[in-house]
Amino acid sequence: MKPQDALVRLSGVRKEYQSLRPLRIEQLELHPGDTVALIGLDRAGAEVLVNMITAATLPDEGDVVIFGRSTRDITSTDGWFSVLDRVGILSERVVLINELTVRQNLALPITLDLESMADEVKRDVDALCTEVGIPADEADRPMGAARPATTLRVRLGKALALAPEVVLAEHPNASLPADEIAAFGRDLASIASRRRIALLVFTADTAFASSACHRVLTLRPATGELSASTGWRSWFGG
């Protein structure tokens, strides 16, 4: 694919943050339908990179381009929100309200009228429950009583609620019991394929990475180079 077709492109990026060394990404592109797992960034580093991709912060060096615009050129609140509307973030940083039900938390990106949801909203929420694998008997439980796997799937549903073109997932498997990780990875891959979204997953688990994503890249922190894991197609090749 051509560089201009990329939904996200990072070139020569360097960002200082509270770590032993700055975050560096030499070259990374996400095209429609790409599913990429990135190994080598801890949670703090993943948060910094997500914030740069979504134009919440700027790199100290290099360029981040999203949907054809350099984040340095996104200078208005309206311009920033127009980017956020096209990006889903799967992260523990996304707030869930324990006093609301699972279903109501899923509805929040769509409506604030949680007590008397329109029929269309109810249908959308029910469809999200089904898509992300939330059992019907858990949908009306309080969020605070949900299992870790259900909590993660609610966060996934919220990330998908506004039909994003790009989903960024910050170590999503970290909170899951070991026996549920593979199933979540397969479900994430299936959703990304069906929706044809670009998916970037940060993880330290190579097995989860390979179940969730088509390509697995390892970051070399000193240089920012991304190398394809053994057995996977190279970043540039078929």
**Are both 35 and 124 inside the same structural domain?**
no
pLDDT given at position 20: 86
pLDDT given at position 4: 59
Q: Is 0.85 surpassed by the pTM of this model? A: yes
| Angle at the Cα of 122 from the Cα atoms of 117 and 123, rounded to 5 degrees | 150
Contact 132, 152 (CB under 8 A): no
Quote the domain boundaries for residue 112: 95-163
Contact 1, 31 (CB under 8 A): yes
**Are both 182 and 140 inside the same structural domain?**
no
Indicate the number of domains in the chain: 2
**Are both 178 and 228 inside the same structural domain?**
yes
Q: Residue 126 and residue 137: Cα distance in Å, rounded? A: 12
Which is it for the CA torsion 69, 74, 76, 81, positive or negative? positive
**Are both 136 and 158 inside the same structural domain?**
yes
**Are both 221 and 131 inside the same structural domain?**
no
Contact 198, 8 (CB under 8 A): yes
pLDDT given at position 237: 37
User: Which residues neighbour 44 within 8 Å (Cβ) at sequence distance 6 or greater?
Assistant: 17, 18, 19
Residue where a domain terminates, one of 122, 145, 163: 163
**Running along the chain, 238 residues long, what does each successive block of 10 average in pLDDT?**
79 94 97 97 96 97 97 95 96 96 96 91 95 94 95 97 97 94 96 97 96 96 88 38
Contact 169, 211 (CB under 8 A): no
pLDDT given at position 19: 85
pLDDT given at position 5: 84
pLDDT given at position 233: 38
